[in-house]
Chain A
Amino acid sequence: MAGSLCPAFSFLYMQPYTSDKSHNSTSERTIRYIGFSFAGLAFVLLLVCVNSFRIARQVQKNYESEVLKALNQLKLVNTLHHNEDLVHNLLMSHIATPDPSRRSSLRAGVKQGHEENTVAARALSRIIQDTPKKELLQIIKERAAYYSVADSLMRLSDQNRTAEAVAFSEAYLEPGHQRHEQYLNKLSKQVQAKADSRLHAAITGISSSIDNHVYLLFLAMASAFGAVFIISKAFKSMREENAHLNVEMQERNLLELELSEQRREYKMLFNRNPVPMWVYDRDTFRFLEVNRAAEQEYGYTEEEFLQMTLFDIRPEEERERLLANLQAVNRDADAHSEGFVHKRKDGTLFRVEVRSHTLPRKHGIHPRLVVAVNVQEREHALEQLRKNEKLLREVSSSVPGAVFQYQMERDGSFCFPYISEGVQELCAVTPEEVYRDPLLLYRNLHPNDLAEVQRSTLETYQNLTPWEQELRVWQPEKKKYQWVRGHSLPSSKGNGTVLWNGTFIDITKQKEAQEELTRNQAKLKALLDSSLQAIFLLDENLNVLSFNKEAAADVHRYLLKELKAGQSMVDFVTHSQVPSIIANHARAMRGETVMYEAGQGDYWHEITYQPVISPEQTILGVALNIRNISEQKKSFETIKRNELQLARAQQLAKLGSWEYHVKQDTMIWSTGTYSIYGLQKGKFVPSLHNMLARVHPEDRRRVQKVYGNAIERKSMLHVEHRIMLPDGTAANVMEVAEVICDDSGEVIKLNGTVQDITERKKAEQEITEAKNLLQTTIENIPEVIFTANPDLTIIYISPQCEQITGYPEAAFLGDAATWLQSIHSDDKKPMMQQVLPAVLAGRPQEYEMRLLDSQGRLRWLLLRLSPGLDSTGNVTRIYGSASDMTAYKEAEARQQELSQQLLKQNQNLQQFAYIVSHNLRAPIANMLGLTSIYNQNEIGSPLNRKVIDNLIKSAQLLDATIRDLNDLLTIRSQIGNVYENVYFDCLLQDVLELLELENNTREAVITHDFTSAPAVRIVRSYAQSILLNLLSNAVKYKSPDRKLAISITTFRLNGYICLRVQDNGLGIDLEKQQENIFGLYKRFHKGIEGKGIGLHLVKTQVEMLEGKVEVESEPQKGTTFNVFFKS
């Protein structure tokens, strides 16, 4: 307020001050200073300007005249120059020209040039001074010489002495001219130099004038600075004065303000004073001013008062006394007078006590302030009091209890100047008896109290403090002590005498009540103390009236303070809690019960502010209960946490619970249930109807029915259905609920849980799909998949088994013996003894085995077995697969056969090549050797004959060999092979005919039997050759010890027709010769002719016919050849 006022004041009083400034001597002086300084500045500047203009002007003039002079001089010098050249030229042409007329004109020209030059030189000499002047004089002198030479030259020329003239010219004129020119040049240079020096002087003059200007400018600047300094100084002093003045103004204003305030206060004091006051003129006794109290008291208005004098408010009889009194009063002293009677407007009179006081003289008037106190009422009141006292005295005798006056002297003697009748009842003594013997009053006093009474009486006597005591007085009639409360006020009578005025009041009932109350309070206190809550009873000012033990203990425990009644509760709480305590206390004081919990962490209190209400319904105080609820809170928190955990668990399990109260048709959902339904608590009111609305439309009727059934039959509810989520997707839920019945068996409610099984459903579906996929896969792979128990009973086998084995699935399931039977006998043993034990020992196995299918055909199976182990490593299952590899095996066999055949053929070919090279080369080598030993010198020698014989032999052998080879190659080339049905008996007949040419045939017994296979589709020539070779072989290697017997039979075997030729000949040691028996040029027997080609031919031909030949033989027993033809 003051802050905002101050600037307002300063602002207000600033204005008049600034307007005053123009009249201020300081400011005038300042302005004058400024004026002076500016005038000085202007003067200096003007001076500088004028001076500079003048100097510049002068410099300009000098410069111009110098330039002009130099130009003139140069011009004249040039003219001289020019004329000299001209003259010289004219002279030259004068010499050169023979024409006399022309010579005269030239002479005139020379003369004219001479005159012109003379004028120019004269003009020049006028304006040139100093050094050039000297030069010029030199030139003029030179010129005079030059022209005399020119004259003599011209004369020579006129006389036509040209040669002489030329020589003269060269001797005198030319040097003269040159010298002349040199002088001229020198002159012109000097003139220029002179002009330059002059110009330089002019420029120096300008710069010096500029320097002068700088000084002037500096001066001007200095004077400007001076002016600025003076101005700033003036401003500074002005500012200071301004501030000073401001302060003064403020002070003055403040004083004025104070003064007016005081006046106003006085005025108020005067006007509002409840005591009638006025101011009158001491000379005229006229009222000058009256206050409102006076107006009210006297009934006149202010205007009326101001028309009246002091005498108008007095009765007639008092006026003279007043006048005398007024005159007697010291004019300036204060006066005080009693016993005056004043008159009101309505004529009533009243007594006043008047005080007057002279006020300072003003405008020639001597005012005096009068205060008139109406004492009429006070006196009246005193009168009334006296009357009341009298009445009281009368009444006091009738009140219960006694009124007494007790007086004690300095020496300790005492008496009862007055005691009312009541004392009889209280103390069983009459007032008269007390008056007689005051000690009587102590007679019935309780001994314990007597001493106390004496002590306290003495104390109050000495200190003059009120005496107050509760006493027990024996009642002889009632035979008991009565409680009396004595209360008296002492007053000193002087001379050590003290008088007590007091009362005795029977307070027995009160006392009893109080005792009762105390007892009750004690009980209450005990009760409160037994409470575990801290209880404080607070009064309306927050002071502790009472508290229980727990409260004290609490305070002691937490604050280490002693709790005492009467302390403020505020002292026992922290700063921050004070406002809340005050607020809550205030609320309780308004009759409200405030209850809240406070605390943190593990410490929690329940705080209750409860108004304490009296039976009259007024609020006496506030009971503050502080209950330690840490434990409760903790357990509550635990419950809450458990609930939360449950809720979380439900959420995790996507589980929710619900209750359906059948009668009320209400539902309560847990949080989990809400989240399953995708709904928010509070935004959805669960009921059976609402819940059903969320069920998938296709499931709704069913679910409703299930609920109905459960309630009707009081049975467990179990249903899986779909629900529609708010986002439009469906979820699968499973609900289980039990029905709760009351004692009478009536259904009260359903307690249920709901679980989101969408994912489970999905997983189930996925598993089913996976299983189906797996099954389809298993059933469609071209292998038999099976699972067996360790005892080999098959528990699952894929349907492929029928395709591979021809047996249906059922044939394998069950007893293991059934399927083990079908295993090929050769494979069964290793299977049972090696493979299966290995699998049962935990090692996976692969085994190729044969199985007889339902049609008795052999099937090759690749059996793969792997053990299924449990956690302890025991085999609990055998998983197996069997792939059909019959076709593979057959192909493999074919392949093997083929490659063997190829190998053999290759071998044969190699052998053939070898044999051919050997057998062809052998005779040739022989022939070569023979020819080398042939004795040419002695043709008829015996050796030569032998050589010739051997040569013939070798040549024949060579020829035979080539023939054989040709045959072989023909056979192998298969050219012209025609297959036809050949009958074995015809064939044998032909062969025997061929063999009959041989001698040994007759000695052999040949038997034959072709009934089993009489014919074969074959190449006839081959068949003939084969039989011929076999028979001739038999004949060739017959045993010399016995007659040859040959048996020829045919039979069918495995798709072949076999021709068997059996003999009883020499036989072959097959162990040694097995490989070579059919080899080309292989022979086994000494001394028997043979090329070793017959059997080779047989084999070759048989192979060509896609057949085979086998041999069984035993030396000295015979040989059997079995030839197999393809049938």
Chain B
Amino acid sequence: MSTLKKVVLIDDDQVNNFVCESIIRNEKFADEVISFEWAEDALQYLQKQSDEDTSHFPELIFLDINMPGMDGWSFIDEYRKLPKQATSSCCLFMLSSAVDRKDILTAKSNDEVKEFFSKPLSPEILDIIREEYISG
């Protein structure tokens, strides 16, 4: 039995998505990992999920900032518009390769964003998430 049912990855970097999926699986963090290279696609999926059945809405989202087309911040603006009963049980984390201060500060000031993590994703990060955001 994994910790979570569904995790969504939103990043244009396929390699990163591969790494994340592998780690989540290895750590048995989630039963299902869905990756999106385009934020627009991810948003579409989430809208669909919230419309149909909130139980299928992911419990956790890893979001990259720097993406062609819709970037992370634009995604958050749209995500905020999703029904609250869907998003309230979902934790959104920023996962970016950038170590820019500005990004971190922006992320922290954003209510939707739980926390900002630097790539690469690691079992340690998952442990932190598990401890702080899920077990409670």
Contact = CB atoms under 8 A, between A and B. Distances in A.
B18 A917 contact: no
A946 B22 CA distance: 11
A1116 interface: no
A921 B38 contact: no
Given A917-B99, A933-B22, A933-B23, A928 B69 contact: no
A1086 B69 contact: yes
Contact of B13 (A922, A928, A946, A1092): A922
B66 A953 contact: no
B98 A921 contact: yes
Contacts of A1049: none
B100 A917 contact: yes
A1083 to B, nearest CB: 3
Contacts of B122: 929, 932
A42 interface: no
Interface string B69-86: 100000000000000000
A1081 B68 CA distance: 8
A918 interface: yes
Interface string B6-24: 0000000111101110110
Nearest to A925: B119
Contact of B19 (A918, A933, A1084, A1092): A933
B121 interface: yes
A926 B68 contact: no
A950 interface: yes
Contact of A926 (B15, B23, B66, B69): B15
B96 interface: yes
B51 to A, nearest CB: 23
Contact of A925 (B23, B66, B97): B97
B120 A928 contact: yes
A487 to B, nearest CB: 160
Nearest to A1088: B68
Interface string A912-942: 0011011001111110111011000000000
B23 A918 contact: no
A933 B23 CA distance: 7
A950 B15 contact: yes
A954 interface: yes
Nearest to B119: A925
Contact of B66 (A918, A932, A947): A918
A344 interface: no
B16 to A, nearest CB: 6
A1092 B16 CA distance: 19
B26 A929 contact: no
Given A917-B99, A933-B23, A922 B119 contact: yes
A950 B13 contact: no
A917 B98 contact: yes
A921 B15 contact: no
B120 A932 contact: yes
Contacts of A891: none
Contacts of B22: 933, 943, 947
Contacts of A947: 22
B38 A953 contact: no
A899 B68 CA distance: 30
B47 interface: no
A446 interface: no
A1086 B13 CA distance: 13
Interface of A: 914-915, 917-918, 921-926, 928-930, 932-933, 943, 946-947, 950, 953-954, 1081-1086, 1090, 1092
5 contacts: A914-B98, A933-B23, A950-B14, A950-B15, A1081-B66
Contacts of B14: 950
B99 A946 contact: no
Nearest to B13: A922
Best-surrounded residue of A917, A932, A947, A1084 (most CB of chain B within 10 A): A932
Contacts of A917: 98-100
A918 B20 contact: no
A679 B109 CA distance: 100
Interface in B75-125: 96-100, 118-122
Contacts of B119: 921-922, 925-926, 928-929
Given A1083-B69, A1086-B38, A926 B120 contact: yes
A843 B15 CA distance: 72
A909 to B, nearest CB: 14
Contacts of A914: 98, 100
Given A922-B119, A930-B15, A933-B19, A1084 B97 contact: no
A926 B19 contact: yes
B94 to A, nearest CB: 13
Nearest to B102: A914
Nearest to A1082: B68
Contact of B97 (A922, A930, A932): A922
Interface size class of B (residues with CB under 8 A): 20 to 34
B68 A925 contact: no
A953 B122 CA distance: 20
A982 to B, nearest CB: 33
A928 B118 CA distance: 12
A914 B101 CA distance: 10
A953 B17 CA distance: 14
Given A926-B16, A929-B19, A918 B38 contact: no
Nearest to A954: B15
A928 B97 CA distance: 11
Contacts of B121: 929
A1092 B100 CA distance: 20
Contact of B120 (A929, A953, A1085): A929
A930 B19 contact: yes
A1082 B68 CA distance: 6
Given A932-B122, A1085-B68, 6 more contacts: A929-B15, A929-B19, A930-B15, A932-B23, A932-B120, A1092-B68
- Residue from A918, A924, A950, A1086 having most chain B Cβ neighbours under 10 A: A918
Contacts of B97: 918, 921-922, 924-925
A1082 B69 CA distance: 8
A921 B15 CA distance: 13
Contacts of A1086: 38, 68-69
Contacts of B18: 930, 946, 950
A933 B20 CA distance: 9
A918 B100 CA distance: 8
Contacts of B100: 914, 917-918
A923 B14 CA distance: 11
A1085 B70 CA distance: 11
A1082 B71 CA distance: 10
B73 to A, nearest CB: 12
A923 B18 CA distance: 13
A915 B15 CA distance: 18
B4 to A, nearest CB: 19
B74 to A, nearest CB: 9
Contacts of B68: 1082-1086, 1090, 1092
Residue from A914, A933, A1084, A1090 having most chain B Cβ neighbours under 10 A: A933
A953 B15 CA distance: 8
Given A926-B13, A926-B16, A918 B26 contact: no
A951 to B, nearest CB: 9
A950 B23 CA distance: 15
Contacts of B118: 925
Q: Among the interface residues B14, B20, B22, which one has the most CB atoms of the partner chain A within 10 A? A: B22
Query: A915, A1086, A1090: which has the most chain B beta carbons within 10 Å?
Result: A1086
B120 A918 contact: no
B16 A929 contact: yes
Contacts of B19: 926, 929-930, 932-933, 950
Given A929-B23, A1084-B69, A918 B98 contact: yes
Most buried by A among B15, B19, B68, B122: B15
Interface in B12-71: 13-16, 18-20, 22-23, 26, 38, 66, 68-69
A922 B16 contact: yes
Contact of B96 (A915, A918, A932, A933): A918
